[in-house]
Structure 1
């Protein structure tokens, strides 16, 4: 129980759930926390982080927190080892910011554009894990087993396709950049991780 409570992954999940629940009950709070490029232009840079702690609905929140719970615990020790006690939290928050920057540049003058959710940070955590264990089994919809590397390829391909197609409320661009940030951050901290990845890729273990 103590190890669970000391987990930074668990701490992030608790804060995210509480903030999301509060925002659902308070439209004014939601409006202050959600990402808005126009608000950022006016100096409200904090929205580059706070948008990652509010979600559109319970399904959106559950999916992100479910993913973060399983893969965050697997990688947080790695980041804490290289960056200190709060390394994982720092990388997670940085991923949320970096993942949103391309969307900000693309929509910086769009008064109607809004975005929210922890997907950028969660994608960073997920792809960091895939880099470490490419043949681990992920369970799509908590039921369908799929090798992590196969999932990663399909996820990236679909996100690129969906982003180019448009006509969706999902910020696929944030998914892509969040995942890329997770991979880059993991390799920068330990370049040997890239060699480990290719070695693991050539020796599948199911």
Structure 2
């Protein structure tokens, strides 16, 4: 089974394995958080800290954070890489990696700009890139049934609208210590990159209705 995943969706498999392994490692080595977490204040003053844009995306705050993100990635990341390969052949693997990595960066840029003078602000997790994966998947399958907290079923396009509305509201009003801006801009990055890679996806999306 593992070999099948590695052969069919190698990029998703590697991302999945690295993220889980690294997150579990820092759970028992909390001193690593300071090295790997995104800290906009430090990045603004020391460009050598730019690497934390990437390292912060492979660590998580706790088991709940990790499991929720990896659960989402498992169901949509592997399927999306498969869609890319069906659309582009073997280069689809590269396109999937490109979407994930570029979205990870783009999802953090607004946070870096907004929090550059806040020495107490830190962020971590793969949520921005995973939001990109989810929204790219929705462009391919807008009528797939998704659910809020995996409980309330609804078409994917309805979920996407509610997700964006909530992220916009939460980024302005919530005090839950979740980086809702990363979710929002990750989702938008996923849509933009998918359209740039596959301009026909717009017509495909519309034709589903």
- For the 8 Å contact 2:136–2:194, the answer to whether it is kept is yes
Distance of 1:85 and 1:152 partners within structure 2: 25
1:113 to partner: Cα distance: 0.6
TM-score using structure 2 length? 0.90
Partner residue in 1 for 2:6: 5
What is the match of residue 181 of structure 2?
Answer: 173
Counterpart residue number, 1:17 = 20
**Alignment size in residue pairs:** 201
Structure 1 residue 32 corresponds to structure 2 residue 32: no
Which residue does the alignment assign to 2:64?
Answer: 59
Structure 1 vs Structure 2 CA RMSD: 1.5
TM-score (norm 1): 0.92
Does residue 75 (structure 1) correspond to residue 75 (structure 2)? The answer is no
Per-residue CA distance 1:53-98 (angstroms, 9 max, x = gap): 1111111111100000110111113445375543312221111110
3-state DSSP of counterpart to 1:46:
helix
Please give the alpha-carbon distance, in whole angstroms, between the structure 1 residues aligned to 2:93 and 2:132. Answer: 19
Map Cα deviations across residues 11-49 of structure 1 (whole Å, 9 max, x no partner): 211110111111111122111000001221212110111
Contact 1:54 1:116 in 2 (8 A): yes
Does 2:197 correspond to 1:194? no
Following the alignment from structure 1 to structure 2, what is the Cα–Cα distance between the partners of residues 77 and 185? 17
> Which structure 2 segments of 5+ residues have no match?
none
Q: Do the aligned residues in 1 keep the contact of 2:99 with 2:194 (CA within 8 Å)?
A: no
The 5-angstrom pairing of residues 41-120 of structure 1 reads 41=44, 42-43=46-47, 44-79=49-84, 81=88, 83=91, 85-120=93-128
**What is the DSSP-based 3-state SS (H/G/I as helix, E as strand, rest coil) of the residue aligned with 1:86?**
helix
CA contact (8 A) 1:79 1:91 kept: no
* In structure 1, C-alpha distance between the alignment counterparts of 2:98 and 2:198, rounded to whole Å: 17
